[in-house]
Amino acid sequence: MVIHGISLPPGQFGGPHIDELFTNTLDPLGHPYFRDLAGIRVSSHLLIRRNGEVVQYVPLHRRAWHAGKSSFRGRDRCNDYSVGIELEGADSTPYTQAQYRRLATVIRLLRRRLPTLATAPIVGHSEIAPGRKTDPGVAFDWPHLRQRLAPRTARRR
């Protein structure tokens, strides 16, 4: 499972632009930043908005184009075997508690329902595309996510 961070334009939240990007309808003239995205075709399995709402763009059994040139543990082409989960956010902006709650719920559901993901590692885009990608960024609280994923008995101690 690959965790990403995205905002369009960068650092701005809300609005239709992430949906437009993942459905290949983003107007390259809608914002100066969008010109660099003209013609790009990317997708993600899931997006978790700032309020915790989940949007699915690609069925989980299909390939999404979220990882780009990537490698994990010596295996290239992460799009071929991973699930991409985008969080609406930016590298240096803290993610919301609603996002962490929903992300933990989504991961638990994926692990229960899809046997191939039962023990799948959870990594950041920056880990599979080092030097090329930095998301979900320094603001993503990995220890907090691990705590949310811990069994309830372990969290009470």
Sign for the CA dihedral angle at 114, 119, 124, 128 comes to negative
Using CA atoms, how far residue 73 sits from 70, 121, 127, 145, in Å, is: 10, 11, 10, 22
Catalytic residue, candidates 20, 53, 86, 127: 86
Contact by Cβ (8 Å): 5, 93: no
How far is it, in rounded angstroms, from Cα 68 to Cα 150?
30
Q: In which element (H, E) is residue 75 found?
A: strand 75-76
Is 53 annotated in the active site? no
Note if the bond before 136 is cis, omega within 30 degrees: yes
Please list the active-site residues.
86
